Chain A
């Protein structure tokens, strides 16, 4: 009797409370006018909070230094930073409230079509695309909601010394040649030819970024929206995933993928115990650091494009890193806009990290010089249909940029899960075209 009464009270309370907050979810009706870069820096005031995934910069004082530099131009703006270790997870949850900073890197999990709900427009595509690259990656209805600071090129980070020891001095030009080279490394050097970083998972998501490299096609991503079978022979995803599959299937990767360790992998490649990893140009600096710390030559770390050529040229897709947006609920939008503008064009952050600046016409960083010399084409992806491709991707539960997708390929390739290469591709093709049917 008592118990029932108690339980009933609880349920009634719970229902009452939940009823209260049903309405509170809807947005605050903030204006969706374009936030322009302020023309007179001395008139911009306010305090802005910048959410960032770069906890290292917040801790080592780099962020504060940038803020001090910024204050020389905008003396009346106070910039505060909040570094978040689990950036994606934390920010996604905070975006259910209005409190997600003033300036933030747009989390990858936010679908493009919802950008206007959460972020203030920074300008029209027509205007901003004159100055910045990658603007269409965050554009909805002709307005741009986020600007990237840097772009990264995709390729293999490799240890030149190890490759040389195996007698290989030129970049492989076909997937088959790449596999043969790895076999030579295994036979002649004793190094692990390829390291998957399977356990940490997120480094594997770079495999999804290889899309576009084999075909050298800037529209590779957009084409996914209409391609019924993106894993059919000859298609980019087929070429890319086959390479990963073959590397693992031919036992050219580490013995136990389940105990790999990202931090440790840097030292492994730095000291030549591992020869190759598929990552992005952002990783080169970190690997060189690791080599230096281990007492090896940092110049041993090199970067090579995906082993396919179109008309005698390698291609490497350049994708934007996090894009900076302004919280639509921010009270200091002008100050926030000023910060984004200053950070991208004046702070020198992109150059310091040896990254490709998103400002059109900027020179390439030093670690991509070999790319330039070898005539590698840097393909800037078009993102006109990202919203649709995203939706198909989520509905199909494939997750082109999730770790489960390459992980499953590794599982099958090493015999840990049932199936073979053909059955994986068949399954992926089916999921993709089914999802196209429901979304399209």
Chain B
């Protein structure tokens, strides 16, 4: 859910200023196809700057993807120097085994959790944008979980969820009985999704705070003069202004929910009803030496994520926000 690794790379400041202002001088050279621009800039200079990121992008992202697509059309076992071209066999195999897609039910837990996560993040972001005491401390505390690496988070929560562990002890004070947080198949996904909320909520919050801070203060003043309550300020000033960031978060949350991996893999290894699509793919590739089939599954996941994103953009187009 929420915030897969790409989140960090997405420039959060897409709201303001309007993108055109930044891009306009990029378009000019097109109209004058000359090698040397005004003030003697060579046409290739931007490409020179792009060389390093492009090389990295190609080596570490595009190339592996191309390979993955290649593998998905073969019966490669992940080891053998030879492999046979099998055409669409892997895809046919995937789509004739509905049980392989059943694991997407697990994603619904994470999807539900990301709704909670985004709401909580919005709430905290709004509160912390107003002038309250110790707000930087609270920002730090809420953002902190995102900085801990996933493996550590997994281990910490293993102890947290142990029978008679921290969570049980705390609940015991309030008279609640023990639960097998990870052992109960009806509870395990909720527990894991909870960890996910804990971990990624801070990231969403920081994105939202960034967006909220770019709202001109005079809007609040005007709203206050008109007698708007805090809720009305949120509803009619803040929420519309940060809509693009909210929709970005939703996209990340949906694609994240479909490809959950780290937390369940470390904490349960996908056992006990907590298997996700990515864990299943890994098992196909590394336990059963079906790298070809696993690649096909990965390609299918990629396509599903692209499709969901596209549908989402279709339903909620990203309107430009005008603030004045």
A positions within 8 Å CB-CB of B: 1-2, 6, 9-11, 13-15, 17-18, 25-27, 89, 92, 95-96, 109-111, 114, 117, 198-199, 201, 255-259, 394, 397, 399, 402-404, 407, 411, 416-417
A15 CA to B65 CA in the complex, in Å?
10
- By a CB distance below 8 angstroms, the chain B residues around A14 are 58, 62-63, 65-66
Count of A-B contacts judged by CB separation below 8 Å: 106
Partner of A27, one of B54, B77, B81: B81
Interface residues on B, range: 35 or more
A18 contacts B271, CB within 8 Å?
no
Contact with A along B272-284 (1 / 0, CB 8 A): 1100000000011
- Residue of A92, A259, A402 near B78 (CB, 8 A) is A92
How distant is A311 from chain B, measured CB to nearest CB, in Å?
A: 38
Residues A416 and B184 in contact, CB atoms below 8 Å apart = yes
Cross-chain contact B26 with A256 (CB below 8 angstroms): no
Closest chain A residue to B161 by CB distance?
A259
B79 touches A110 (CB 8 A): yes
Instruction: Give Cα A354 to B253, complex, Å.
Output: 53
> Taking A259-B158, A416-B185, A417-B185 as contacts, is the C-beta distance between A404 and B66 under 8 angstroms?
no
Q: How far is the CB of B78 from chain A (nearest CB, A)?
A: 7
The answer on a CB contact under 8 Å between B182 and A117 is no
B185 surroundings in chain A (CB, below 8 A): 411, 416-417
Evaluate contact between A259 and B182: CB separation under 8 angstroms. Answer: yes
Residues in chain B near residue A111, CB distance under 8 A = 77, 79, 289
Contacts A18-B70, A258-B271, A404-B283 hold; do A109 and B290 have CB atoms under 8 A apart? no
Is the CB of B39 closer than 8 A to any CB of chain A?
no
**Distance in Å: Cβ of B103 to nearest Cβ of chain A:** 13
Using Cβ atoms and an 8 Å threshold, which residues of chain B touch A402? 287
26 A-B residue pairings within 8 Å (CB atoms): A13-B58, A13-B62, A18-B63, A25-B82, A26-B81, A26-B82, A92-B78, A92-B79, A92-B286, A95-B79, A110-B79, A114-B80, A201-B269, A201-B271, A255-B183, A256-B182, A257-B183, A257-B272, A259-B158, A259-B182, A259-B183, A394-B288, A397-B284, A404-B271, A404-B283, A411-B273
The secondary-structure label for the interface of chain B is loop
Complex CA distance for A6 and B47, rounded to whole angstroms: 10
A17 touching B81 in the complex, CB below 8 Å, given contacts A10-B58, A394-B289, A399-B288: no
Q: Is B268 an interface residue (CB 8 A)?
A: yes
Of A6, A256, A394, A417, the residue contacting B163 (CB under 8 A) is: A256
A397 with B158: CB separation less than 8 A: no
Whether the Cβ atoms of A1 and B30 lie closer than 8 Å is: yes
Give the chain B neighbours of A255 by CB distance below 8 A: 163, 180, 183
Residues of B within 8 A of A411 (CB): 185, 271-273
Determine if B162 is an interface residue (Cβ-Cβ < 8 Å). Answer: yes
Residue of A nearest to B271 (CB): A407
In this complex, what residue of B is CB-closest to A24?
B81
Across the interface, do A114 and B79 meet the contact criterion of CB distance under 8 Å? yes
Top 6 closest pairs, chain A to chain B, by CB: A258-B182, A14-B62, A256-B183, A416-B185, A259-B162, A256-B163
Q: How far is the CB of B236 from chain A (nearest CB, A)?
A: 35
A13 to B268, CA, bound (A): 40
> Is residue B57 contacting chain A, with contact meaning CB distance below 8 A?
yes
B197 to chain A, nearest CB (A): 20
A1 nearest CB neighbor, chain B only: B30
Among residues 259 to 317 in chain B, which have CB atoms less than 8 Å away from a CB atom of chain A? Answer: 268-269, 271-273, 283-284, 286-290
In the complex, the answer to whether A394 meets B58 with C-beta atoms within 8 Å is no
Q: Which residue of A lies closest to B165 (CB)?
A: A259
| Chain B, Cβ-Cβ closest to A200 | B269
Of B65, B188, B288, the contact of A258 (CB 8 Å cutoff) = B188
On chain B, the residues within 8 Å of A114 by CB distance are 79-80
Cα–Cα, bound, A386→B67 (Å): 31
Shortest distance in angstroms between B86's beta carbon and chain A's nearest beta carbon? 13
